[in-house]
Amino acid sequence: MKCLFFLYGEKRTFETARKFWNILDIPNLDIVIHTPSTTSEHLASTDFTEVTKNDFDVLGNPKVFLYDRTINYRKETFDRTLHFSWRFLSQYLNEINKTYDYIFVGRLDSSFYVENYSKLKLEENKNFLFPLGTAKGNTFIQDHAFFGSYNIVKKFVDNLPNSDYWSINGDTHTNFCRYVGDNFEEKEWNLFESHHIRNTFSRYFDLYVDKYSKVSENDKNYRKFLKTFYKEFEYKLDIEYKKQYRKDWIRDYKFEENELENMYKNFSNIL
């Protein structure tokens, strides 16, 4: 199985997130990265640090394409960097003399776990797009990650609508559902997950790696970790993250004394 893993977005928590990409164990995996040449801790931060191609050497020999974050792509892509990168992927696939069985699309700062990926039989799945949830008939699913056969993902990125389409009702998640639901046959894989790993989440995920070393193709420990973390810890840690830049009630939210440290100790005990 010859596959491409296309990664985009901010580098941010890449050093933690990459440890939760179980598809890195796929033989002959090509990796292409499209990311700004600077990065920061969160959405509103202007405290940028430099990103270089060498930052990704840990992945072997990825092809890294850095771009200046100040370029004017926003008018065409309705202020969403993911559309800009998906258009880049279209250009890249049209320029190379190469095809793949599957293309996986994900973010540098997010997990990417496809359980039992070795059972992805191309002949059975060549006409399906695998998003993070069912798009058709819904108004919201996470839109940052998906995968499919070469022809399906190429169709997806080659035919991205223009900015007017994405701006309808001001909700790009709803419009993502509409784009997928109207143009693709979806299939739900038994377990495909990709979550943003916020800087406030990192030490929890790092603790998992300290205990279990890595995430495997079929990992019951990781399934248990996901269930526990997102049920009992994610909500408060997401508030902690958003307090860094939000100006609504979240900014004024008060944690109890030692609440966050006690949460971490509790997690350490139950992991």
Residue ranges of domains in the chain, CATH in brackets: 3-193 (3.90.550), 202-270 (no CATH)
What's the mean per-residue pLDDT of the chain? 93
Looking at residue 43, its pLDDT comes to: 83
pLDDT at 266: 96
pLDDT by residue (tens digit) across 212-228?
A: 999 999 999 999 999 99
pLDDT at position 76 is 53
Model confidence pTM above 0.85: yes
Residue 253: CB atoms within 10 A of its CB come to: 13
- Which parts of the chain register pLDDT below 70? 72-79
Q: 221 Cβ partners below 8 Å, 6+ apart?
A: 208, 212
Residues with Cβ within 8 Å of residue 242, at least 6 apart in sequence: 250
Cα dihedral value 149, 151, 153, 159, nearest 10: -160
Determine the pLDDT at residue 215: 96
